[in-house]
């Protein structure tokens, strides 16, 4: 019997107060579920519509067919830009039909934010993905998960640690969640699979492809024994800006995030920061002070992450949270409200205009590292201040 079943009768630490939530918008009775999904998918493909703007539109106009028919004119509070109005007049129905055709395959699913199968923990984060594409065991989304992330170029001992921790933790009823990247991600997925456990890979592309290509066999194995998840529709290529964005889903699905070997400036630390901001646990495995791949973990520990040397360090923290999460999963029907604040005075925006600009150009203008720029762009995109199109970014407000 796994540790999370053993803890089901124990009173853990009281969970934090539930955030103020808004109820699911009423579904229009005049359209079928398939019709409603078509309009959700059409809005997903709209230019300049990220998670925050999508949710604001739903709050002000839950009847999306009417929103499209009126080109957003009935919702003056939304300040619909001309580019979006033009799209509403001529949506990308071809992409919508392609996504629906993809979902006709066995074990392929498209779930919206208010679908009862949408994971409750993910729904609580700021700017949750309005739509998730899932290939594999969709029921895994509701199971207690631990994210494991780290270097794409780990040491041999780092890869072994990731594999062995994932294998051991999966034997204790934890689903291992990671990003299918090279290095620590792949070792973690493989460790769970080798232990006959469950694992979820969050992709930065559409699920009609496996990226990187060398992980094609691993990806198919995960789809058979776990699940592949993405907020990006089929056909989405591996655009660099998508990968920092998907990190919030890796941490948002999980009760906690374990970091194994990470440089100070790395995507893994972005995931750890997002986990902390989402109110989740952060764990880090220490290493030699002479190993540059240990410095990111040491910095996390200095900032309050739990120093982790064995799986009991993780299980002791997560068991009460897992019990609460499972109970909460069956009752949660609400979503954290959209943050209405627009951070138009963020100093980083001084380097941006309203014309699209590349990450490389922003690095040159700001003098910051590519990792820092990607992190800021992710935050600003979630807040609805900037939009990304084809790997280029521009201000919305």
Residue 334 has pLDDT above 90, yes or no: no
Task: Write down the pLDDT at residue 182.
Answer: 96
Q: If you search the block for the tokens 């620590």, which residue do you land on?
A: 184
* Cα–Cα distance for residue pair 394/358, rounded to 1 Å: 9
Residue of higher predicted confidence among 344 and 191: 191
Task: Write down the pLDDT at residue 355.
Answer: 76
* Cα–Cα distance for residue pair 130/218, rounded to 1 Å: 27
Give residue 10's pLDDT band: very low, low, confident or very high (50, 70, 90): very low
pTM: 0.77
As a whole number, the mean pLDDT across the chain is 82
> Which is nearest to 261 in space by CA: 302, 300, 296, 311?
296
Q: If you search the block for the tokens 């604001």, which residue do you land on?
A: 56
CATH assignment, 347-395: 1.10.10.10
Residue 7 has pLDDT above 70, yes or no: no
Domain positions in the chain? 33-102, 134-329, 347-395
* Cα–Cα distance for residue pair 371/182, rounded to 1 Å: 17
CATH assignment, 134-329: 3.40.50.450
Residues in the chain: 397
Task: Write down the pLDDT at residue 348.
Answer: 67
Task: Write down the pLDDT at residue 158.
Answer: 94
Residue 187 has pLDDT above 80, yes or no: yes
Q: What is the mean pLDDT of residues 113-124?
A: 92
Give residue 389's pLDDT band: very low, low, confident or very high (50, 70, 90): low
Residue of higher predicted confidence among 9 and 115: 115
Q: Are 239 and 390 in contact (CB under 8 A)?
A: yes
- Pairing between β-strand 227-230 and β-strand 145-150 as defined by DSSP bridges: unpaired
Give residue 121's pLDDT band: very low, low, confident or very high (50, 70, 90): very high
Q: What is the mean pLDDT of residues 369-378?
A: 68
Residue of higher predicted confidence among 3 and 348: 348
Task: Write down the pLDDT at residue 365.
Answer: 80
Residues 297-309: pLDDT tens digits?
Answer: 999 999 999 999 9
Give residue 15's pLDDT band: very low, low, confident or very high (50, 70, 90): very low
Q: Are 344 and 274 in contact (CB under 8 A)?
A: no
Q: What is the mean pLDDT of residues 364-373?
A: 73
Residues 6+ apart with CB under 8 A from 291: 155, 261
Residues 244-286: pLDDT tens digits?
Answer: 889 999 999 999 999 999 998 888 999 999 999 999 999 999 9
Extract the tokens encoding 381: 């995109």
Top-ranked range on mean pLDDT: pick from 18-22, 34-38, 221-225, 262-266: 221-225
Q: What is the mean pLDDT of residues 335-349?
A: 45
Q: Are 386 and 396 in contact (CB under 8 A)?
A: yes
Q: What is the mean pLDDT of residues 55-66?
A: 88
Task: Write down the pLDDT at residue 384.
Answer: 62
Strand order through the sheet with 145-150: 108-112, 131-136, 227-230, 199-202, 175-178, 145-150, 256-260, 281-284, 306-307
Task: Write down the pLDDT at residue 78.
Answer: 77
**pLDDT-above-70 percentage for the chain:** 78
Extract the tokens encoding 99: 């996504």
> Which is nearest to 357 in space by CA: 380, 382, 334?
380
Residue 324 has pLDDT above 60, yes or no: no
Q: What is the mean pLDDT of residues 319-342?
A: 49
Q: If you search the block for the tokens 């764990």, which residue do you land on?
A: 283
Could you tell me which residues are beta bridge partners of residue 387?
A: 394
Q: What is the mean pLDDT of residues 182-194?
A: 97
Q: What is the mean pLDDT of residues 129-137?
A: 97
Name the helix (H) or strand (E) containing 282.
strand 281-284
CA torsion, ordered 217, 219, 221, 224, to nearest 10 deg: -140
Residues 235-249: pLDDT tens digits?
Answer: 999 988 888 889 999
> Which is nearest to 293 in space by CA: 255, 319, 261?
261
Task: Write down the pLDDT at residue 24.
Answer: 47
Residues 192-210: pLDDT tens digits?
Answer: 999 999 999 999 999 999 9
Q: Classify the C-alpha dihedral 281-378-122-390 as positive or negative.
A: negative
Residue 390 has pLDDT above 70, yes or no: no
Burial of residue 217, with CB atoms counted within 10 A of its CB: 0-12 exposed, 13-18 middle, 19 or more buried: exposed
Give residue 333's pLDDT band: very low, low, confident or very high (50, 70, 90): very low
């Amino acid at each position: 019997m796994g540790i999370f079943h053993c803890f089901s009768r124990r009173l853990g630490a009281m969970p934090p107060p539930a955030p103020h939530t808004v109820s699911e918008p009423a579904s229009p009775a005049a359209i079928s579920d398939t019709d409603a999904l078509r309009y959700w998918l059409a809005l997903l493909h709209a230019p300049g519509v990220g998670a925050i703007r999508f949710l604001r539109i739903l709050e002000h106009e839950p009847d999306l067919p009417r929103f499209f028919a009126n080109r957003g004119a009935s919702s003056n509070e939304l300040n619909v830009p001309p580019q979006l109005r033009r799209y509403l007049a001529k949506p990308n129905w071809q992409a919508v039909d392609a996504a629906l055709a993809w979902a006709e395959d066995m074990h392929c699913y498209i779930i919206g934010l208010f679908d009862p199968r949408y994971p409750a923990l993910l729904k609580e984060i700021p700017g949750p993905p309005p739509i998730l594409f899932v290939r594999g065991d969709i029921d895994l989304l509701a199971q207690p998960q631990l994210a494991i992330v780290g270097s794409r170029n780990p040491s041999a001992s780092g890869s072994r640690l990731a594999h062995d921790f994932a294998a051991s933790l999966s034997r204790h009823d934890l689903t291992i969640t990671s990003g299918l990247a090279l290095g620590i991600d792949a070792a973690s997925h493989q460790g769970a699979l080798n232990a006959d456990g469950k694992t979820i890979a969050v992709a930065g592309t559409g699920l009609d492809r496996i990226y990187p290509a060398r992980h094609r066999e691993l990806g198919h194995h995960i789809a058979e024994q776990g699940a592949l998840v993405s907020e990006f529709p089929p056909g989405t290529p591996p655009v660099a800006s998508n990968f920092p964005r998907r990190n919030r889903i890796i941490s948002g699905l999980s009760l906690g995030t374990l970091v194994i070997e990470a440089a100070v400036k790395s995507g893994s630390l972005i995931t750890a920061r997002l986990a902390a901001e989402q109110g989740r646990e952060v764990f880090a495995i220490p290493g030699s002070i002479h190993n540059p791949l240990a410095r990111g973990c040491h910095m996390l520990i200095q900032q309050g992450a739990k120093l982790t040397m064995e799986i009991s360090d993780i299980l002791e923290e997560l068991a009460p949270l897992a019990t609460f999460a499972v109970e909460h999963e069956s009752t949660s029907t609400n979503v954290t409200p959209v943050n209405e604040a627009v951070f138009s005075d963020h100093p980083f925006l001084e380097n941006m205009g309203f014309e699209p600009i590349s990450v490389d150009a922003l690095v040159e203008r700001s003098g910051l590292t590519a990792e820092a720029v990607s992190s800021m762009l992710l935050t600003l995109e979630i807040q609805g201040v900037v939009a990304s199109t084809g790997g280029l970014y521009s201000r919305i407000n």
